[in-house]
């Protein structure tokens, strides 16, 4: 979800306003996904391991925004049968925020319509490193299957979308997107809509996914 800061700057607003608008778009996109029989998981890159390099004031705002957002969206999770999960290392977050995250996951763990995953303090290299360390500690054989099993997100990704015109992956789900279809849109995240997502999904369905094989 890229482009919050640029969206705000274009309008002469503080970057925090872009993040607030971006949070509203998360709700719109999540609600759209709950209405689709073809989508079972929505994973959103919310805060990376590299985002700690941002100004402290912005980081503090993002942490507060996340905590308030979880409180506000809890009813949305319940009403729409959404399971909330997190990937990444959240031990660096405040105890209050960690508590709110764990409480929300626990209260929604039996919901089945859609799984919404937030990547928080997440970086794919960090995820893979932690997975391998866990395997070594447990004396597991280093195989692709065992590595994947020990990842924060052990499932392959079908479709990856990056907004804002940047054409790079930025350390996101590097293992899981090995055979994902990639889409890059110039739309800034606060302007991204369910209509655009719908168009991307229709285009995704037209692509031939060979997974290393040849066309039939």
Q: Is residue 210 part of a domain?
A: no
pLDDT tens over the chain, length 216 residues: 999 999 999 999 999 999 999 999 999 999 999 999 999 999 999 999 999 999 999 999 999 999 999 999 999 999 999 999 999 999 999 999 999 999 999 999 999 999 999 999 999 999 999 999 999 999 999 999 999 999 999 999 999 999 999 999 999 999 999 999 999 999 999 999 999 999 999 999 999 888 877 776
Q: CA 72, CA 150: separation in Å to the nearest integer?
A: 32
Quick check: helix, strand or coil at residue 131?
helix
| pLDDT for 91 | 94
Q: Is residue 212 part of a domain?
A: no
Q: Is residue 216 part of a domain?
A: no
Residue with tokens 């409180």: 71
| pLDDT for 211 | 80
| pLDDT for 21 | 97
**HSE of 144, CA atoms in CB hemisphere, 13 A:** 5
Quick check: helix, strand or coil at residue 94?
coil
| pLDDT for 216 | 67
- Please, where are the H alpha helices in 92-138? 95-108, 124-137
Q: Is residue 145 part of a domain?
A: yes
Q: Count the Cβ atoms, other than its own, within 10 Å of residue 172.
A: 19
Q: Is residue 154 part of a domain?
A: yes
| pLDDT for 16 | 94
Number of domains forming the structure of the chain: 1
Q: Is residue 133 part of a domain?
A: yes
CA-nearest of 203, 205, 160 to 184 is 160
Kindly report the CATH number assigned to the domain that includes residue 23: 3.40.1180.10
Phi and psi torsions of 35, nearest 5°: -90, -5
**HSE of 66, CA atoms in CB hemisphere, 13 A:** 25
Q: Is residue 213 part of a domain?
A: no
Structural contact between residues 116 and 153, judged by C-beta atoms closer than 8 angstroms? no
Residue 165, by phi and psi: left (phi above 0), alpha (psi -120 to 50) or beta? left
Active site residues: 2, 51
- Residue-range definition of the domain harbouring residue 116: 4-201
Q: CA 4, CA 127: separation in Å to the nearest integer?
A: 25
Q: Is 139 exposed, middle or buried (0-12, 13-18, 19+ CB in 10 A)?
A: exposed
**Span between the terminal Cα atoms of the chain, in Å:** 36
Q: Is residue 18 part of a domain?
A: yes
Q: CA 195, CA 33: separation in Å to the nearest integer?
A: 12
| pLDDT for 210 | 81
């Amino acid at each position: 979800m890229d482009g919050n800061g640029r969206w705000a700057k274009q309008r002469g607003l503080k970057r925090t306003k872009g993040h607030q608008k971006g949070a509203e778009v998360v709700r719109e996109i999540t609600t759209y996904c709950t209405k689709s029989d073809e989508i079972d998981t929505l994973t959103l890159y919310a805060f990376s391991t590299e985002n700690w390099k941002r100004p402290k004031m912005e980081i503090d705002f993002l942490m507060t925004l996340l905590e308030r957002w979880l409180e506000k969206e809890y009813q949305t999770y319940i009403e729409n049968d959404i399971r909330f999960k997190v990937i990444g290392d959240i031990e660096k977050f405040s105890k209050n925020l960690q508590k709110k995250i764990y409480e929300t996951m626990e209260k929604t763990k039996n919901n089945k319509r859609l799984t919404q995953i937030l990547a928080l303090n997440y970086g794919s290299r960090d995820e893979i490193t932690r997975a391998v360390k866990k395997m070594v500690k447990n004396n597991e054989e280093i195989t692709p299957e065992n590595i994947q099993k020990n990842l924060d997100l052990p499932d392959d990704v079908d479709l990856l979308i990056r907004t804002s015109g940047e054409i790079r992956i930025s350390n996101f789900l590097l293992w899981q997107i090995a055979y994902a279809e990639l889409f890059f849109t110039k739309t800034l995240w606060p302007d991204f809509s369910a209509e655009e997502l719908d168009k991307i999904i229709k285009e995704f369905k037209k692509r031939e996914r060979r997974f290393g094989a040849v066309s039939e």
